[in-house]
Amino acid sequence: MAPNAGYAIGTHFAQIWSDPPSAKPGSDPGIVVNSFGKGKAIWIAGRIEALTEPVGHNLVKHLLRNSLPGPYRFEAETNRVVEVTVFDQREQHRLLIGLINLQEHVPTIPVGAVVRVLPPPGRKVRRVLQLPDQKPVRFEKSRPYIQFQIEPFKLVFLAVAEYE
């Protein structure tokens, strides 16, 4: 038996019985960051963002923030089961903001959020309305974003940010 067998020190793998593919790193990366013209692409071999442990989300967030510096079109502080979309309808001078609660278990547990949205360059947000009732949503400027808080919602939250 080799003196280092079963030990993590001085090896690329934690334990010999984990069936490592080789004694040294190979040429098949699990994460690739590459530049293309003015843009960047991040390719991840597995669905690490779908892990139930926070490590997957933290890794994706770290990769995005280090590879694609902000400011971003939008940010949200919310539960990881919430998906956020923002569409700029330039002709109507508004941003459509949607949040959907994608919890697997029914009934869903209501979740809230803090949302930050970047207005288009040279534009100023006049008001934010919750849809479909067009109920005013209080917002504040949080350079370079506008920011607003969303009370816990069960399934969908929709809003429009009108700008001039």
Residues 106-160: tens digit of each pLDDT:
889 999 999 999 999 999 999 999 999 999 999 999 989 999 999 999 999 999 9
Give me the pLDDT at residue 45, please.
Answer: 86
Average pLDDT for residues 53-69, to the nearest whole number? 85
Give me the pLDDT at residue 144, please.
Answer: 94
For residues 57 and 74, which has the higher predicted lDDT (pLDDT)? 74
For residues 34 and 8, which has the higher predicted lDDT (pLDDT)? 34
Give me the pLDDT at residue 5, please.
Answer: 55
Give me the pLDDT at residue 98, please.
Answer: 98
Write down the pTM of the prediction: 0.73
Contacts of 51 (CB under 8 A, 6+ apart): 57
127 to 95, 113, 130, 131: CA distances (angstroms): 11, 18, 10, 13
Cα 34 to its chain centre, rounded Å, is 19
With beta carbons less than 8 A apart as the criterion, state whether 76 and 113 touch: yes
Domains along the sequence of the chain with CATH: 16-67 (no CATH), 74-163 (2.60.40.1180)
| Alpha carbons 147 and 133: distance in angstroms, whole number | 20
Question: What would the pLDDT profile of 48-57 be if each residue is shown by its tens digit?
Answer: 877 778 888 8
Give me the pLDDT at residue 84, please.
Answer: 97
| Alpha carbons 46 and 30: distance in angstroms, whole number | 7
- Among 67-71, 73-77, 107-111, 137-141, which stretch is predicted with the lowest mean pLDDT? 67-71
Contacts of 107 (CB under 8 A, 6+ apart): 154
| Alpha carbons 58 and 40: distance in angstroms, whole number | 19
